[in-house]
A and B are shown apart, each in its own frame.
Chain A
């Protein structure tokens, strides 16, 4: 029997087992491809995505790593589409291909059930390749340098889109309308109603003017969207074709970033879940006689490398698969609820087993509702921490905030747009929500330059540097970066009005 035939037979068996475990998956397609195409795919992030120099760089970097045999190689790529598409490398051993098939079905279930993926577009492929055609056209028409400048800048703000995908984002326009409702106007000649106080009258008038003139901008987390809607640079472009191209390029980057957002937000859970699924299925396959002993030991070797427990590196695959397993075990043994939490008897707790058998059910439920951050927040236990070598058996109360902080906003600083009309000059004010960690100033300079490219006017960013009590404002004027210190905490003059953080 050829490998391909065996693989198809194994897939049939896997599908049966999946049903038995209660997983519901969408149609899955596998392509077995050569390493060149695999590396190109990973570099491009979507098949036939738009052409960009960073893709070429990533391709060469992956190729170098691949050729030097770093890590365990790249086993699979799976895309959240309908039907789901996955790619398997043809040069890996058979066991590894089987592992990939099982692993991909884990992802498939996760994609099609997790709440964060509900609003993602499942026809990204056609949209990406259409964008590719358009971008090539722009390159011809406007020159590659001009196109690259915009793409470079837009890509710099890639992660700064609103990850809150559970609901549709409220637009600035809508927020304005909503607040306008709160403005009361009492007719002056009506004696029956109590007139407003002078102070209140003035406040209301000011607010109304600001809301109607569109000067007031609400703190916005989605920087790219804000640029698309408000950038004076785009407004100032005289050539309508170029303006359309710029809008198109930024919005494609925004769209793809939003498409990948749920993946970013649930990456650890997703991988951990897939690891748990493939571990289950591989054992089943061995028992059913579909895998030889040799192949199973090959698999065990690969799996061991994926889940390597290292003292100087936190392996996310390992962390999350351990937490998943601990959930399953705890709910199987009934180690939850009021009684369990209140029990102080260590011996009793160790042998706690109510034969509840709710493990699989709980796993599937968590799969639907959680993101990485909430997952770790809710389910990490001392036992899991003890197993990870990099924490050296430290206390959970110490480790948990660390891990959570690492995952907050994907480990990136949280930056808001504070004002699109700073000091009434249409300059751009960004605000870093400082949490004790400094920003990388080298990167800051470059990204503010990118910000200038997209905004076309000076860009300011308010942050804190080191232990300074005062806030620091960096200003990029297109040619140079200025640093200016200033105001005490809480009395910042750079944000002249108390703005509402509505999101």
Chain B
């Protein structure tokens, strides 16, 4: 029989270790399902700085259990055994909050522009993290440097003690105790020691004290962003905005905006050139690229010709790494010419060409599209996934993808932004 209060004792580290471990596991789950998460339109189009709430299904522990009743029978109504409620917990869900930036970073893990070449003229800067630039006496508390602060304080206090010993002729222990008693104030310590010397007061023999920090002791890290310079890169984004792509408008917009966002996050100073095309290709601003749509027929090869022209005049391949991404529904009036021009484009020495084709899975427009033309011409290898197909080329820097749903966006990003371009089997 005893009742006592044990309050204010800190929570052991152990439970926090388990909590962290659980969070890690949740993060792994988020990583696994990032494709579904980024398929939400508001993630990419919304405000970047806000937090996103995602409902995470709690990680289960498994055991032998009965199948849950399929329809919720009224409890105790006796429709069959197992209809008594209350013996199995329901599926546990909890809300987890993530920074949007964090999610996008997760989505873009292992992504990059392939085939970058070392050139003489450097312009692109790739963020490589942070490094310590210098140690300052003021700064952010998050960057507080404990070790250097302590070292500064120790050296200052040692100086004080040496000074006091010299001035008053006391021993080191006395000086230390006096310093503790006067809470680090030199003036007071000096007076105190004088009094001791005169015999007015006596100091306690032993005393444990604190460490006194003065304003001069504080040290903070000053950080600097570390940048690595890589060669120039230009990205040509081609969008088919003919009448037939109307039903894929949303999907095209999503995928091209994801791609441009991804490139901008991965590299600074990369130049993105937006081209929309129907009968005639047109170089447009970013806003126009996403907002506009037209109603003509489609001729893709002219767009390739425009790209070739722009490469020659604006981003010559001797100095630039050039990437071309195209989104289309695959309908084209001059398919064979388009294939020919594409071959020329690939031969001219661009780093990478990614071609995304939207299909409606119901209609299955399997033949007569750009993709089938490319497949035959470049003898591509097909890898089928869940509702999407990825086309790999053996000897050309080309990748194609046929897809029809926003859940394939994540695969699209990883397919079109591979760090290294190697053939997957």
- Measured CB to CB, the residues of A under 8 A from B are 4, 7-8, 11-12, 15, 27-34, 36-37, 40, 43-44, 48, 51-57, 59-61, 64, 90, 101, 132, 144, 152, 155-160, 311-316, 390-392, 394, 398-399, 401-403, 405-406, 411-413, 415, 432, 435-441, 443-444, 446-447, 450
CA distance A350 to B7 in the complex (A): 53
Known contacts A40-B11, A411-B88; is-contact A399 B76 (Cβ 8 Å):
yes
The 4 closest A-B pairs by CB, nearest first: A56-B18, A56-B22, A56-B19, A446-B62
Residues from 213 to 230 in B contacting A, C-beta threshold 8 Å:
none
Task: Tell whether B310 is near chain A: CB-to-CB under 8 Å.
Answer: no
Partner of A59, one of B18, B62, B76, B85: B18
A132 touches B14 (CB 8 A): yes
A413 touches B65 (CB 8 A): yes
Residues from 1 to 35 in B contacting A, C-beta threshold 8 Å:
1-9, 11-12, 14-15, 17-23, 25
Please give, as numbers and ranges, the residues of chain B lying within 8 Å of A413 by CB-CB distance: 64-66
B241 to chain A, nearest CB (A): 45
Partner of B7, one of A15, A32, A155, A438: A32
CA distance A312 to B75 in the complex (A): 6
Residues from 129 to 181 in B contacting A, C-beta threshold 8 Å:
none
Q: Please report the total number of B residues contacting A with Cβ < 8 Å.
A: 47
Task: Tell whether B121 is near chain A: CB-to-CB under 8 Å.
Answer: no
- Measured CB to CB, the residues of B under 8 A from A are 1-9, 11-12, 14-15, 17-23, 25, 58-68, 74-78, 81-88, 92, 94
Apart from A33-B6, A90-B7, list 6 A-B contacts with CB within 8 A. Answer: A32-B3, A37-B9, A40-B11, A57-B22, A57-B58, A437-B82
Total residue contacts A-B, CB cutoff 8 A: 169
Name the CB-closest residue of A to B20.
A56
B64 touches A447 (CB 8 A): yes
B59 touches A32 (CB 8 A): no
- Residue among A28, A57, A158, A438 with the most chain B CB within 10 A? A57
Please give, as numbers and ranges, the residues of chain B lying within 8 Å of A432 by CB-CB distance: 64
Known contacts A51-B18, A60-B19; is-contact A90 B63 (Cβ 8 Å):
no
Please give, as numbers and ranges, the residues of chain B lying within 8 Å of A43 by CB-CB distance: 15, 18
Name the CB-closest residue of A to B83.
A402
B123 to chain A, nearest CB (A): 43
B353 to chain A, nearest CB (A): 38
Name the CB-closest residue of B to A32.
B5
**5 contacting pairs across A/B (C-beta < 8 A):** A53-B21, A413-B64, A415-B64, A446-B60, A446-B62
Name the CB-closest residue of A to B78.
A398
Please give, as numbers and ranges, the residues of chain A lying within 8 Å of B14 by CB-CB distance: 48, 51, 132
A412 to chain B, nearest CB (A): 6
Known contacts A28-B1, A390-B75; is-contact A61 B6 (Cβ 8 Å):
no
CA distance A32 to B7 in the complex (A): 7
A402 touches B78 (CB 8 A): yes
Name the CB-closest residue of A to B26.
A57
Name the CB-closest residue of A to B72.
A312
Known contacts A61-B94, A156-B62; is-contact A392 B18 (Cβ 8 Å):
no
CA distance A443 to B86 in the complex (A): 19
B7 touches A52 (CB 8 A): no
B6 to chain A, nearest CB (A): 5
A156 touches B86 (CB 8 A): no
